[in-house]
Structure 1
């Protein structure tokens, strides 16, 4: 964990020693997915602790990368490490915001799951702009979709053989769509650790938001917010399904 490598007290000293941040508000990309929403719940509080208001800007996953790199958005809520190598104007805040399970979802096609290579003979669906899924299925027969509704609808109708999504987003979408054929396969393909990114124009914020997130992690506040947000989403999905009956 981050706190094992960087003493908590040192982070706070480094953050408080610098000048007061000029920014009073920032715009962070968001989507309708559970992972984005849970990360934003954490970031709203983390930035509030350092006197900055976060405004969510709805943008597609692929477009948000380009917008944040150009500075048209100030940051991204939850992305894999390494994006800074491809998008040089992005800076990764080194405290993980969310860790998720990457899962395979299937319909009636039998599969003995042993990692990403198990998917190679099949037609796979992923979301556009989701880096871990793009990397894991590179060179395979892949259909790319704009959102999880499209992805799981195509899987239910057997237009693709398998879909790759996070555990929580897959479970929520299966409940929302009331799928009958779709099942989630175990074990997970991978643990995916996701980080907050800022445009380089806000590099002065990095030590401060790093310290704020580290404090929330140390307090157990980060985990509490994530659990609350996911529980609310599950309840909303359950209530929505009940109304449709």
Structure 2
């Protein structure tokens, strides 16, 4: 089946992350193989949820939540990944899952359903509208720690914020999946097959490495 006349509208995060670049690169190649046109639409999390409920999106290009998406069909192949880590200036402990964060004031990026789910048992939370403001709140003591992608250390360099460290080990390395709206369920099996073939021939790993390299090129030395 060809969708050449119309493009699938796939949401991606409105924040530059390697995982976003991974998903775009891998899905572009996969859908090209299938002769399907796609457009990637950067949207914040809350706006994405509204448009999804209204049926105005054909898919979500990067979702890490374990809970199901209403009217969505998950493609059984992770196209990207993120490592969630703890950033801090003054605290020193060994992270052991999200439950170990309960004694602290935890900063996180607003509009990310994934972090809402993971941090639901943390009593004191401090959300921020952007990664930049998230780290600035950490700098002035509005939060004890920040939970964010390991790759977001690049933002710290751009801001020139000193003395922030990453506590090891990572909270988790989470796979990121694609969801298609149920109206496109006829594409699911073929897309899974194409992605798995791309893994076998090395294309997935190559494109993921390219995405990380491109992201790091924009990061201050």
TM-score, normalised to structure 1, is 0.81
Does the CA contact (< 8 Å) of 1:106 and 1:183 recur in 2? Answer: yes
Give the stretch that moved more between structures: 128-137 or 140-149.
128-137
Taking the TM superposition and a 5 Å limit, the aligned residue runs for 1:202-221 are 202-221=184-203
Query: 5+ residue gaps in structure 1?
Result: 1-19
| 1:166 and 2:149 matched | yes
Deviations 1:193-243 (A, max 9, x none): 1100111121111112111211111111111111111111111123xx6xx
Distance 2:130 2:97 in 1: 24
| 1:79 and 2:63 matched | yes
Cα offset, 1:72, TM superposition: 0.9
Query: 5+ residue gaps in structure 2?
Result: none
Cα offset, 1:22, TM superposition: 4.3
Q: How many residues of Structure 1 are paired with residues of Structure 2 in the alignment?
A: 217
Cα offset, 1:97, TM superposition: 0.8
Distance 2:160 2:198 in 1: 36
Counterpart in 1 of 2:174? 192
Counterpart in 2 of 1:89? 71
Q: Secondary structure at the match of 2:155?
A: helix
Taking the TM superposition and a 5 Å limit, the aligned residue runs for 1:1-245 are 20-22=1-3, 24-30=6-12, 31-34=14-17, 35-84=19-68, 87-140=69-122, 141-168=124-151, 170-238=152-220
More helix per residue: 1 or 2? Answer: 1
Does the CA contact (< 8 Å) of 1:65 and 1:76 recur in 2? Answer: no
Q: Secondary structure at the match of 2:75?
A: strand
Moved over 6 A (4+): none
Does the CA contact (< 8 Å) of 1:69 and 1:90 recur in 2? Answer: no
Q: Secondary structure at the match of 2:186?
A: helix
Cα offset, 1:21, TM superposition: 4.1
Q: Secondary structure at the match of 1:139?
A: coil
The CA RMSD measured in Å over matched residues stands at 1.9
TM-score, normalised to structure 2, is 0.89
Does the CA contact (< 8 Å) of 1:21 and 1:205 recur in 2? Answer: no
